[in-house]
Amino acid sequence: MKLKPKYQVIIDDIKSNILSGVYNVGEQIPTESALQDTYQVSRQTVRKAILELSNEGFLRSEKGSGTYVSHQYRAKASGNTGNKTIGVITTYISDYIFPSIIRGIEGRLNEDNYSLLLASTNNDVAQEKKALEMMLSFGVDGLIVEPTKSNLFNPNIAYYLSFKEQEVPFIMINAYYEELEVPFFCLDDVQSSYLATKELISKGHTQIGIISKMDDLQGKYRMKGYIKALGEAKLRFHPEQVLSFDTETKQELSTSLKTFLQENRDILTAVVCYNDEVGLEVVNVCRQLNISVPDELSIIGQDNSYIAKNANIRLTTLTHPQEQMGRDAADWVIKKLQGKKDLPNSTYYSPVLVEGETVRGITEE
């Protein structure tokens, strides 16, 4: 990997500190000699970084006094476009349910001639940081965010506080950061997994596993719904019937599924899956292991995604609002910018079961 020039490292760090509110407008940044010591570079390198940041409107130097954070970068940013611009940060752009969500956002923004500035994080906090810095530098008027690794502590909270400080309205979709008081639009994920598990129980299944993603809040709540349904039916929770994964281990999911299904082959009769993508991966692995779906194993996905609709087997799943959620989030931001009061702080959408051909009833022999 190519190393950044030393002056660029200084530029990136100072810019991050300004955008995240470590250095406020009008505040003096460390002296040239302090920056030299911090970064172990020459005065010339420090001056090159300061000059570039001054040209970009982030800093201004006062002779004999020091270098200060300039208000110009905000003015410059907000003058980027005649139309108001709404920033949208999602974890992914072209995969799964995200094109539908973005289509909903775009459709609503177009109605009021708002522009859209789109970024994705690939569920990586370093990429989320870059996206947030881009939105702050651009001077977006509002922001719609799908949180990154929402079940883990987020190191980018300071950037969200900067948006709050600048009174830029933002709303979260699909999940939210529990550390922040932030409005959100979410599917009722507890209810989704609860209904999925309950459907299997109603069909006579008592040995039901779950495959869930645990670095996102949706996974935590979908696990909660599964446990709730088992408890209500007085069925025992078996930790060995749980397969969890995260963003990094998702690539090896096919391998871990093989092991999980082989170990539980004579026990499990059904599995609740984190989403349709995982559900169809379970179908594929079952084919490889000659496990008949649904005769030997019933499978329920979640989200009613286009991949479930277009697969060569109709996956039993639960609905997700997708386009409506995107539209509602954009509408919320527009109304907020128009000065509307009494907007909802939280909205949960209720999932509905969509019957497919991957679940069958079983009878006790």
Residue 341 to residues 20, 54, 144, 334, Cα–Cα distance (Å): 28, 39, 18, 12
Q: Indicate the helix (H) or strand (E) that contains 332.
A: helix 323-337
- The tokens describing 6, both together, are 């030393």
Q: Indicate the helix (H) or strand (E) that contains 74.
A: helix 72-78
CB distance 142 to 113 below 8 Å? no
Cα three-residue angle 103-246-293, rounded to 5 degrees: 80
pLDDT tens-place string over residues 283-330? 999 999 999 999 999 999 999 998 888 888 999 999 999 999 999 999
321 prior amide bond cis, ω within 30: no
Q: Which of 112, 166, 110 is nearest to 143 (CA)?
A: 166
pLDDT recorded at residue 365: 42
Q: Sign of the C-alpha dihedral, residues 74, 79, 84, 90?
A: negative
Gyration radius from the chain CA atoms: 25
Burial class (CB in 10 A: 0-12, 13-18, 19+), 47: middle
Bridge partners of residue 120, in order along the sequence:
90
Tally of CA atoms within 13 A in the half-sphere of 161 that contains its CB: 13
Cα three-residue angle 226-247-237, rounded to 5 degrees: 20
Q: Please tell me whether residue 353 adopts helix, strand or coil conformation.
A: strand
pLDDT recorded at residue 110: 92
CB distance 144 to 170 below 8 Å? yes
Residue spans of the chain under pLDDT 70: 1-2, 72-82, 364-365
Interatomic CA distance for residues 81 and 312, integer angstroms: 46
pLDDT tens-place string over residues 238-293? 999 999 999 999 999 999 999 999 999 999 999 999 999 999 999 999 999 999 99
What single-letter amino acid sits at 173?
I
Cα dihedral value 29, 31, 36, 38, nearest 10: -50
- The tokens describing 32, both together, are 């040239």
